[in-house]
Amino acid sequence: MNRKFWLSIALASIMVVTAACGANTGKSGTNNEGSTTNTAGSSEKTYKIAVSQIVEHPSLDATYDGFVAALKDAGIEEGKNLELDFNNAQGDPTNIKTISQKIANSKSDLALGIATPTAQALADDVKDMPVLFAAVTDPVEAGIVTQLEAPGGNITGASDTNPAAITQTMDFIASQIPDVKNVGLIINEGEQNAVVMAKIAEEALAKHNIKLIKASVANSSDVKQAADSLVGRVDAIYITLDNMVVTGADAIIEVANEKDIPFFSADRDTVEKGAFAAVGFKYYDHGYEVGQMAVEILKNGKKPAEMNVTVPQKLDFIFNMKAAAEQGITVTDEMKAFVKDQANNIIE
């Protein structure tokens, strides 16, 4: 082989290396369809999602897990083409505001607010990107959206409350707890979602001539004292999807078990922990549904303004049989008949 041949080979090699280096240092841009990275003449979309969660507890954590799982199932996966900026406000209003402002100034492709206060803050501060919410009781009452159907603006999501779930729980208490006259409610009245649910519960109980007695708390460390204050005054205890109270649910379980007071919650996770019963659903599924909404926005160009806010449809009673025994409840066949999916929703 002559020198011209080897020179040609060398020049070709240099061109290949140069092209490879150019691919590694290509520009990235951000738009409504995510960031685009050019690699060897092709383009791969990458996404950044910012999340604001009010506090860590099982229902909200399961919501986040379901959200991430839906993204992954659609090919949007952390470590590959997704950057997740997760922020926990630890129940502090100041943190909630700081986080929402941080997200507003970020170059995220989408923001998610988990729970009412965080969603409210994002609705106030974030105007230049799509926003989704989850684990919000009444997004209209909370001022997050003006209507559930085609809400307009840049925000939509999923409510975690169907008023029918609260009414069914109160009707069950009225018909199945012997001689019930008063139901105690431990509540943080600073949470709009808790106030809305409490009103529905109070109205439902009033139809049975049962009184709702409230024990207010200012933080989760007050929950034990609030539960103790209801002993001797109520025939059952109920809690809403109240983030502060749910965080302190162990203290309520302790009092309910010691004093034989039936304890009802509004979420499955608290029943699994030790409440007797709830009408609810799996928060993982709730989060998954919101994750599917995110996929529609990121990959298919859907606008939040056009996407209806959803509410849970697959409601069922959930019983914890061990908790029933601890709280002095005899679970009858009539009670069990309230549970549609007994294989999965009667927890032994």
Query: Mean pLDDT, the chain, as a whole number?
Result: 89
> 287 and 261 share a domain?
no
Cα separation, 64 vs 61, whole angstroms: 5
The CATH number that applies at residue 132 is 3.40.50.2300
pLDDT of residue 135: 95
136 and 55, same structural domain?
yes
**The pLDDT of residue 26 is above 70:** no
Task: Inform me whether the pLDDT recorded for 1 exceeds 70.
Answer: no
What CA–CA distance (Å, rounded) separates 283 from 217? 25
Taking the C-alpha atoms of residue 89 and residue 52, their distance in angstroms, rounded to an integer, is 7
Its sign, for the CA torsion 187, 190, 196, 199, is positive
Domains held by the chain: number: 2
233-281 pLDDT per residue, tens: 999 999 999 989 999 999 999 999 999 999 999 999 999 999 999 999 8
- Strands of 236-238's sheet, edge to edge? 211-216, 182-187, 236-238, 263-264, 277-280, 316-320, 346-347
Arithmetic mean of pLDDT, 167-193: 96
Residue 338 lies in a domain: yes
Please work out, in degrees rounded to the nearest 5, the angle formed at the alpha carbon of residue 161 by the alpha carbons of 237 and 104.
Answer: 120
127 in the same domain as 92? yes
194 domain-assigned: yes
Q: What is the pLDDT of residues 303-327, one digit of tens each?
A: 999 999 998 878 999 999 999 999 9
pLDDT of residue 154: 98
Shared domain check, 199 and 102: no
In a domain, 18, yes or no: no
In a domain, 20, yes or no: no
> Residue 43 — pLDDT band, cuts 50, 70, 90?
low
Does 7 fall in a domain?
no
Report the percentage of the chain scoring pLDDT > 70: 88
11 burial level (CB within 10 Å; 0-12, 13-18, 19+) = exposed
**Domain that includes residue 68, residue range:** 44-160+283-306
C-beta of residue 194 within 8 angstroms of C-beta of residue 214: no
Using a cut of 0.85, tell me whether the model's pTM lies above it: no
167 and 151, same domain (yes or no): no
Query: What is d(CA 139, CA 144) in angstroms, rounded to the nearest whole number?
Result: 5
Mark whether 190 and 123 lie in a shared domain.
no
Please name the helix (run of DSSP H) or strand (run of DSSP E) that holds residue 249, with its range, or none. Answer: helix 249-259
Please tell me the predicted confidence (pLDDT) of residue 314.
82
Query: Both 81 and 145 in a single domain?
Result: yes
Alpha carbons 113 and 133: distance in angstroms, whole number? 5
Give yes or no: residues 252 and 321 share one domain.
yes
Q: Are residues 343 and 214 in the same domain?
A: yes
Same domain, 189 and 289: no
> Same domain, yes or no, for 186 and 327?
yes
